[in-house]
Amino acid sequence: MELRSPRFKQIASTGIILLAAIIWGLCFVAQRSAMQHIGPFLFNGIRGFLAAFALLLIVALVWYITLKRKAPTRASAPPVSMKYLIGAGLFCGVILFFASNLQQIGMVTVTASKAAFITALYIVLVPVLGLFLKQRTNWNTWVSVGVAVVGLYLLCVSSGFALETGDAVLIGCALFWAFHILAIGHYAPRLTLLQLFGMCVIQFVFSGALSLVCAPLFDGFFVAVPLTLGAVMNAAPELLYAGILSTGVAFTLVAIAQRHAKPTPAAIVMSTESVFGLLGGVLILSEVLTAREGIGCLLMFAAVILTQLKPQEPSELSWKSQ
C-alpha cells in the first residue's frame, strides 16, 4: 500500500486515535488510584497545569519545525483576535472545571470501570443537546438514548431503586462533557490548528487555577487525606499520566489524526475509551462487575456506537480534554 495514499493515511489515523482511546481509558485507573493520596480538586489543579505545560511544548515543537522548514503554517480558518481567543479559552475552561471535577468527585466512590461507562454518556447527550441549538437529529439518536437509559439503569440503580450519589455526580459530569464538546465544536472551525492549541492551553490553566483555589476549601469533604507536598508526591505517577499523557499527548494525537480520518469511524474508535477503562479497572485495580452491571456496560457501549452511525462534521467529534 502506498505510504502517501489517502487509504494508508486513514488507516494510520485510525490507529493513532485508537492509541489515544487506550490512553484515555486507562486514565480512569490513574484517576481512581490518585484519590488514595490527594483530593479531587488538587488532582485536577495540578493536572491542568501539567497539561498546559505539555501542550505548550508540543506547540513550540510544531512552531520550530515549521520555521526550520521555512514553510507557512496551514490555516484552516483566518486568524482571530487575541481577545476572542482568550474569551473562548476562559469559557471552555469554566465548563472543563465542572466536568473534570464532577468526574473526579464521583470517582472517589465509584469504580474506574463503572465511571468509564457512565462518562461515555456524553456522546449520547451531545446530539440531544444539539436539538436546542437547532441541529438536526436522526432516528438512531433517539434509539441510542433509549438504550443508554436502560444501560444506565442497570449500571447505576440498585435493586432497591436507589441511585448512588457517585453515580448521579458522574451523570452530571457527562452532561458537562457534552457542553464542553459543543463549546469546542462552536469555536474550533473559527481557529487555526495552533490557535486551537493556544485556546486549550488557556482553558487548562484557567480550569487548573480554579481547581487549586477550591482544593483547600472543599477537598476535605470528599477524601480524608492531608493537603501536603508528600501526598502530592505519592500521587505523582497518576498526575503525570493524567496531565501529560492523557491530556497533552492524547489530545494532540487526535487533533493531528482527524486531519485524515473519516469522522464517523473516528468517533466510534474514540468511544472505545470506555472499554479500555473497564479493562483497566478489572485488570489493574482488580475491580469486579456484577452480571447486572456488565449488561449495563454492554448496553451503554451499544448506545455510544449507535449514536455515531450517521454523518457528522469533524467539529462535532470529541475534543474532550480527558
pLDDT score for 314? 45
d(CA 188, CA 92): 11
Let me know the angle formed at the C-alpha of 19 by 265 and 295, rounded to the nearest 5 degrees.
Answer: 70
Mean pLDDT score, 4-16: 71
168-182: per-residue pLDDT in tens? 999 999 999 889 888
| Residue-averaged pLDDT of the chain | 81
pLDDT score for 135? 65
- pTM, full prediction: 0.81
82-95: per-residue pLDDT in tens? 899 999 999 999 99
d(CA 247, CA 94): 17
Measured in whole angstroms, how far is the alpha carbon of residue 209 from the centre of its chain? 19
Residue 111's φ and ψ, nearest 5 degrees, are -65, 160
d(CA 258, CA 313): 11
pLDDT score for 86? 93
pLDDT score for 43? 96
End-to-end CA distance of the chain: 34
Residue with cell 490513574: 30
Helices of type H across the chain? 6-34, 40-68, 82-106, 112-119, 121-130, 139-156, 165-187, 193-218, 229-234, 236-240, 250-257, 263-270, 273-283, 291-306
Residue with cell 491542568: 48
Mean pLDDT score, 162-168: 81
d(CA 275, CA 257): 21
48-91: per-residue pLDDT in tens? 999 999 999 888 887 877 776 665 555 455 678 889 999 999 99
Residue 163's φ and ψ, nearest 5 degrees, are -90, 120
Contacts of 33 (CB under 8 A, 6+ apart): 238, 285
Q: How confident is the model at residue 282 (pLDDT cuts 50, 70, 90)?
A: confident
Percent of the chain with pLDDT over 70: 79
Q: DSSP letters along 209-239, please?
A: HHHHHHHHHHGGGT-----SHHHHHHTHHHH
104-146: per-residue pLDDT in tens? 999 988 888 888 888 888 877 877 787 777 666 677 767 877 8
